[in-house]
Amino acid sequence: LSRSFEPPILQRAAHMADAKRRIGAAAASLLRENETVVIDVGTTTHEMVKAIPDDLSITAITSSLLIGTELSTKPSVKTIVTGGVVRHGELSLIGPRAQSSFSDLNCDTVFLGVAGISDQRGLMEYNIDDADVKRSALASGRRVIVLADASKLGRVAFITIAPVSVVDLLITNASPDNAVIRRIKDQDVEVLHVEPFEEEKD
């Protein structure tokens, strides 16, 4: 598998779909009334948005047209969509306007999706333009929560966004016995495991 090839978002949604729903629901359960959050592009963050209760009042900023559309169905959510150029196949907004949208924001939490996560190579993404926007988003939040199913652990993608040390909480369906998880925990990252766990593959 190429480190820079990313299947279209709607194609990726079918992969690990049940795990993504459970991780997304766990992330949505962490939201608090009147919180201001960044919700990143991705299939697992999309599942998170679907699980947001209709009566929960939050402000949500996103650079995803898909997620922005989903948020618009939540009557109590104030939705802010960044500017930028639409990336075909991903429906993300990229470029200087998308990056600068986060420059003066001070948000409570950033919910981040990744292509891969490794204790050594950090948080990774397939696309340079998306990675640049994710970095800007990370800088706008005081807390960083990463949503990553077990298939993302140890996967090396094209570009590193940030070291694992920026993560406050990782939500995953990987088993607590997973070797990558153990090494990530050694870097003082809290991990929330959603059941059923997926065991490490040999």
**Nearest one of 166, 173, 161 to 24, comparing CA atoms:** 173
* Helix, strand or coil, per DSSP, at residue 47: helix
Q: What span, in angstroms and rounded, lies between the C-alpha atoms of 133 and 195?
A: 31
Identify the three-state secondary structure at position 61. strand
Question: Is residue 166 within 8 Å of residue 123, measured between CB atoms?
Answer: yes
pTM: 0.93
Please state the rounded mean pLDDT for residues 138-157. 96
**What CA–CA distance (Å, rounded) separates 20 from 1?**
21
- pLDDT score recorded for residue 199: 79
- Report which of 66, 72, 35, 27 is spatially closest to residue 54, judged by C-alpha positions: 72
pLDDT digits (tens, 9 = 90+) for 28-58: 999 999 999 999 999 999 999 999 999 999 9
pLDDT band at 153 (very low <50, low <70, confident <90, very high): very high
Q: What is the pLDDT of residues 97-109, one digit of tens each?
A: 999 999 999 999 9
Model pLDDT, residue 89:
85
Measuring CA to CA, how many Å separate 96 from each of 6, 18, 39, 129, 163?
22, 35, 18, 9, 23
